[in-house]
Structure 1
């Protein structure tokens, strides 16, 4: 399941907020000044009103403590990252709320109590430097994987700082690579060379604030002396980035991708002469990795005889010529999708979904083509790739379900040994009282749209069950089953039901499922969601007075549309870190990068559609009985930005409509600066749902004063 109570789905790579030009017809443009004194004073007043209601509810503290206990539990699975024969892991708990990077041996990791060595403690680093550093991952030099670029974000923003770290000494490298905070990407060429995309100064960022100039950065030389390698264009939606791939046989590919649109663009590969050659591939074909001298791709576009959604491969020597004919590795049918793919020493490892149920498969090259093997893992659950490396055929995958705690499996991708269950998450709630069902609803165009229901086994089918429903519906992102630990403890144990909707716009059934709801076809996504709501009511699982919905980011836009279009279907609507002003979205934060998903106001037909569905512009002053929404965002969100949520709440206030608004001061787009923040956001949201759908303390509407 990719949608939790907190919105963690990504709309884009790192960005920085930009200032939109004033619109005299919009009275709340002043709230777009993200860090301005006047908007922040407005936020403070709104927060006081909302917290006074939700935190005063006696259930809030129980929700908070339960969510915090789950997030900080020390018996969670330490998800592995394989680095040069060792296992690395980033870990947060009550003693390390911001987290620390640590390492152990493969042998120790396989035991019940691994012996960890701390590499980098972010709580200590933050205290020493007077900043709240948030972990954003590490990129290590292959094949030795001793030196790594650690990505750190202040307060959770997408803009990051890179610092070189030595895994052997456990220290930052003295006078090593250090790239100041920017929207940026960096790829290792060798120990002394990086290919870097970043803000190089005026004229080097796209209109959506992405870097489009790639330069070669040498050790010991200032950034001002970096040599330009490739330049995209200011009009590109997602910028330009370098990638360096290796395999265990010593092959290497240096690639540069120019993303003219969010979903794809031009690809170039560096030949042995150091010159870049443009690849003759579809815009939405993406590299997976190198294996046995073969460069593997996934494609979201048809490619010769390959259907969209396939895995393909070709010899590296052929790819370096620019024009080549790929070999099909895997072609899905209409109800299948490739959710993820990576490479091991000898294979391509992929998780494939069939009617939203997961399978792990390996594809091994041989003299007669590629051999497909399905790994023997538990069936009818979700499968995700946890860790793989080009240096070994040992990989890790997770298997999980709504009521089945996550298990970590160690697999031999080459098939010499059977998969082994290595670690299991202890049960976080009593799952014996609930049952999982999968249904289909018929949308406005007759399409059957699947969804999952997790409900009390003995609940009467009379419409009385309090139910919360979520979806994402965009950017080719799939919502698949996953162990709902926090939802289970805070909601299911209290007699509630949970619904995950697999609406169009996502990738559950491949590119066609996504493309069906892009741009001016987007109303189908909203119709799918509403159809599932009606189907739940028709099946008497719940009723409109017991049905709540939530979603974040693009899912927050979905919630805003449902609030306007179907106000009678929902009693509660939580709108998380959302897009809501679809007329000005291109001028706020990273909005200009999402034109390939939403369309542009510069195109008359698309502008008309955006005006029609824009939640901010379609609230009616009177004549509609809206549910009281709970809208939350974060000040540090430099991706979507808090501007949308602020303006939506201000419009509701202007019209005298009830609402709750909360803006956290840290955490970025995903609200994850530390475990306390995550627990707080979970508890506030669940208190709201409990008030609305289960009754009790604070169930009255909030004043708009």
Structure 2
């Protein structure tokens, strides 16, 4: 972007040069602001102690080593003070569940970066089932979205000579078999869409140039994404291509045995969640009624893949449905079951569903109260699942569920502070249009309700992202220990109450999110938790936009604002970086 001005409502924008995010003038300005901020922070007598306490938590050796279950093994990527870039390592599931796992290092990223003189950052590995011995690694230079692809052999611990490899770009792959990849890459004959992502899917045969690969799909130039999805399961392999015009709409194509693609008759705003036992699994964003079958928005449904291939939905069934207070959050499949997480008034639930004739039998899995459950990893080749449970005051516990039995805790994160003196309460504020908006307040049990407590109000309100109870961050812990209170707002735009909650603040309705956030701020003052002067508001990315807009619209509500990595230029955001892919959210 050139250093120029553009016409805005109030005249010319003299700061347009700041949006050249990699331009020397913009970077120099950012460095100057950092130096000013650090000079002030580092001279504060509280700074060193808070920084050291946070660093100790982030680098603690007793963190849970989360991993992916891969047919009897667990793969983990681990970073600590001795492995700053990280170790990719593997242990058997039995060993992993023990107190002292026997890890086998697959790749030392620090050693690789030193040997190659590269600033490598780990972005993940796509491995071929069932052995998971051939993987395409995604390595980023410095943490950028663009990645280098390199094939790696986990048995030898070496990159595969003459294997699949590509230079740096925004790209992804899915294994069809040991010698073929479905690849989305703009390199070597591919093309980009207007969001900067790959526009084509090609079938790449081992030992041949990507430029010679057969193109199997091309998306519209204005689409946000297109990506391949291949599921290797006990009952066989199924391959799909998913076209996404934006974050909230999809067209799903099934690849037949001969490679032909067929568009499946699903709603255009479906959220495709894979296959199990010949059934396609999907999460609905809107009500669906077709050929005598109906399901509400927010439901998880199954449809026989054979029916969809024939252009029908015969045999469709509801696996789990929402209610006024319950919203489905996530879905995962093992070899024999579908696991569904939900929020009920922003408190976590976990369900296990298995086939029962033409329908499904669903049961709740017992969890501790008042927390959040997150699906960590599901093995499609066995009935094995990792899930995590946490709350604001209770640290994470990783559970192992298998073969339909009761889950067993396998890893615990130690408490990072003594929570005995604190409490969590859920309150509701009333927004400008009368909507009840929940929020959580974490405070000292002995806090005086006299408006004197310094309070941070955190929010996000976008992209269907739910702010459910999660163990407090190191900085939030230090804030509480020094007498503050911490609030988390569950405003519209998020996913706390399903698609309806998200859609209520989409595009031209975005001000509903700001009104909700303001209502929570006002409620904290009305309950005499704090005062406007002692209230700080905080958010990042879309949350940075939230607090920036709140500051402008309601300057009387708070005394401090932290707008982290914010998206603030809503006139030109679609021209910045990946901004065009956000049009589905902002318009």
Question: Comparing 155-164 with 42-51, which one deviates more in the overlay?
Answer: 42-51
Does 2:150 correspond to 1:160? no
User: Could you tell me which residue of structure 1 aligns to residue 300 of structure 2?
Assistant: 311
Structure 1's 497 and 168: CA in aligned 2 closer, same or farther, altered over 3 A? same
Please say if residues 181 and 204 of structure 2, whose CA atoms lie closer than 8 Å, have aligned partners that are also in contact. Answer: yes
Aligned counterparts of 1:316 and 1:269: Cα–Cα separation in 2: 9
Please say if residues 349 and 361 of structure 1, whose CA atoms lie closer than 8 Å, have aligned partners that are also in contact. Answer: yes
User: Could you tell me which residue of structure 1 aligns to residue 226 of structure 2?
Assistant: 240
Other structure's SS at 1:365 match? strand
Other structure's SS at 1:575 match? strand
Please say if residues 54 and 475 of structure 2, whose CA atoms lie closer than 8 Å, have aligned partners that are also in contact. Answer: no
Aligned counterparts of 1:277 and 1:454: Cα–Cα separation in 2: 51
Please say if residues 183 and 203 of structure 2, whose CA atoms lie closer than 8 Å, have aligned partners that are also in contact. Answer: yes
Aligned counterparts of 2:274 and 2:313: Cα–Cα separation in 1: 17
Match of 1:118 among 87, 99, 105: 105
Aligned counterparts of 2:110 and 2:258: Cα–Cα separation in 1: 46
The superposition leaves residues 528-583 of structure 1 with CA deviations (integer Å, 9 ceiling, x where unpaired) of 00000000011111111211111111111001101111112111111111111111
User: Could you tell me which residue of structure 1 aligns to residue 545 of structure 2?
Assistant: 557
Q: 1:93-492 counterparts in 2 under 5 A?
A: 93-200=80-187, 204-236=191-223, 238-250=224-236, 252-304=237-289, 305-325=294-314, 326-412=316-402, 414-415=403-404, 417-492=405-480
Please say if residues 19 and 588 of structure 1, whose CA atoms lie closer than 8 Å, have aligned partners that are also in contact. Answer: no
Using the TM superposition, give the Cα deviation of residue 29 of structure 1 relative to its aligned residue in structure 2, in angstroms: 2.0
Please say if residues 5 and 15 of structure 2, whose CA atoms lie closer than 8 Å, have aligned partners that are also in contact. Answer: no
Question: Comparing 201-210 with 529-538, which one deviates more in the overlay?
Answer: 201-210
Other structure's SS at 1:35 match? coil
Other structure's SS at 2:523 match? helix
| Structure in which a larger fraction of residues adopt strand | 2
Aligned counterparts of 2:102 and 2:554: Cα–Cα separation in 1: 54
User: Could you tell me which residue of structure 1 aligns to residue 574 of structure 2?
Assistant: 586
User: Could you tell me which residue of structure 2 aligns to residue 697 of structure 1?
Assistant: none
The superposition leaves residues 450-490 of structure 1 with CA deviations (integer Å, 9 ceiling, x where unpaired) of 00000011011111111111111011111110111414432
User: Could you tell me which residue of structure 1 aligns to residue 498 of structure 2?
Assistant: 510
Aligned counterparts of 1:404 and 1:45: Cα–Cα separation in 2: 40
Structure 1's 143 and 295: CA in aligned 2 closer, same or farther, altered over 3 A? farther
Aligned counterparts of 1:361 and 1:117: Cα–Cα separation in 2: 34
Aligned counterparts of 1:490 and 1:177: Cα–Cα separation in 2: 47
Using the TM superposition, give the Cα deviation of residue 324 of structure 1 relative to its aligned residue in structure 2, in angstroms: 2.1
Please say if residues 279 and 302 of structure 2, whose CA atoms lie closer than 8 Å, have aligned partners that are also in contact. Answer: yes
Highest relative contact order (Cα 8 Å, sep 6+), 1 or 2?
Answer: 1
Other structure's SS at 1:545 match? helix
Aligned counterparts of 2:4 and 2:235: Cα–Cα separation in 1: 53
Structure 1's 203 and 398: CA in aligned 2 closer, same or farther, altered over 3 A? closer
Aligned counterparts of 2:174 and 2:358: Cα–Cα separation in 1: 34
Using the TM superposition, give the Cα deviation of residue 20 of structure 1 relative to its aligned residue in structure 2, in angstroms: 9.7
Other structure's SS at 1:74 match? coil
Please say if residues 256 and 267 of structure 1, whose CA atoms lie closer than 8 Å, have aligned partners that are also in contact. Answer: yes
Other structure's SS at 1:568 match? helix
User: Could you tell me which residue of structure 1 aligns to residue 6 of structure 2?
Assistant: 23
Using the TM superposition, give the Cα deviation of residue 339 of structure 1 relative to its aligned residue in structure 2, in angstroms: 1.0
Does 2:564 correspond to 1:576? yes
Aligned counterparts of 2:189 and 2:382: Cα–Cα separation in 1: 44
Aligned counterparts of 1:295 and 1:246: Cα–Cα separation in 2: 14
Aligned counterparts of 1:228 and 1:21: Cα–Cα separation in 2: 40
Please say if residues 247 and 293 of structure 1, whose CA atoms lie closer than 8 Å, have aligned partners that are also in contact. Answer: no
Using the TM superposition, give the Cα deviation of residue 596 of structure 1 relative to its aligned residue in structure 2, in angstroms: 1.3
Aligned counterparts of 2:5 and 2:305: Cα–Cα separation in 1: 51
Aligned counterparts of 2:396 and 2:533: Cα–Cα separation in 1: 33
Aligned counterparts of 1:266 and 1:22: Cα–Cα separation in 2: 39
Aligned counterparts of 1:308 and 1:349: Cα–Cα separation in 2: 19
Other structure's SS at 1:527 match? helix
Please say if residues 430 and 493 of structure 1, whose CA atoms lie closer than 8 Å, have aligned partners that are also in contact. Answer: no
Aligned counterparts of 1:170 and 1:289: Cα–Cα separation in 2: 31
Aligned counterparts of 1:64 and 1:137: Cα–Cα separation in 2: 29
Aligned counterparts of 1:253 and 1:285: Cα–Cα separation in 2: 19
Aligned counterparts of 2:432 and 2:465: Cα–Cα separation in 1: 22
Using the TM superposition, give the Cα deviation of residue 310 of structure 1 relative to its aligned residue in structure 2, in angstroms: 0.9
Question: Comparing 486-495 with 291-300, which one deviates more in the overlay?
Answer: 486-495
Aligned counterparts of 1:106 and 1:449: Cα–Cα separation in 2: 42
- TM-score w.r.t. the length of structure 1 is 0.80
Other structure's SS at 1:432 match? helix
Aligned counterparts of 2:169 and 2:4: Cα–Cα separation in 1: 23
Aligned counterparts of 1:553 and 1:198: Cα–Cα separation in 2: 27
Using the TM superposition, give the Cα deviation of residue 39 of structure 1 relative to its aligned residue in structure 2, in angstroms: 2.3
Using the TM superposition, give the Cα deviation of residue 19 of structure 1 relative to its aligned residue in structure 2, in angstroms: 7.6
Question: Comparing 426-435 with 27-36, which one deviates more in the overlay?
Answer: 27-36
The superposition leaves residues 294-319 of structure 1 with CA deviations (integer Å, 9 ceiling, x where unpaired) of 22111212222111111111222223
Using the TM superposition, give the Cα deviation of residue 354 of structure 1 relative to its aligned residue in structure 2, in angstroms: 0.6
Aligned counterparts of 1:340 and 1:526: Cα–Cα separation in 2: 26
The superposition leaves residues 19-75 of structure 1 with CA deviations (integer Å, 9 ceiling, x where unpaired) of 898636322222222222222222222222221111222222212211111011111
RMSD: 1.7
Please say if residues 190 and 198 of structure 2, whose CA atoms lie closer than 8 Å, have aligned partners that are also in contact. Answer: no
Using the TM superposition, give the Cα deviation of residue 219 of structure 1 relative to its aligned residue in structure 2, in angstroms: 1.2
The superposition leaves residues 228-268 of structure 1 with CA deviations (integer Å, 9 ceiling, x where unpaired) of 110111122x1211111132222x22111111222113221
Aligned counterparts of 2:49 and 2:115: Cα–Cα separation in 1: 34
User: Could you tell me which residue of structure 1 aligns to residue 521 of structure 2?
Assistant: 533
The superposition leaves residues 408-446 of structure 1 with CA deviations (integer Å, 9 ceiling, x where unpaired) of 11112x42x221121111010121111000000000000
Using the TM superposition, give the Cα deviation of residue 293 of structure 1 relative to its aligned residue in structure 2, in angstroms: 2.2
Q: 1:67-78 counterparts in 2 under 5 A?
A: 67-78=54-65
Aligned counterparts of 1:201 and 1:221: Cα–Cα separation in 2: 12
- Which ranges in structure 1 are unaligned for 5 or more consecutive residues? 1-17, 600-705
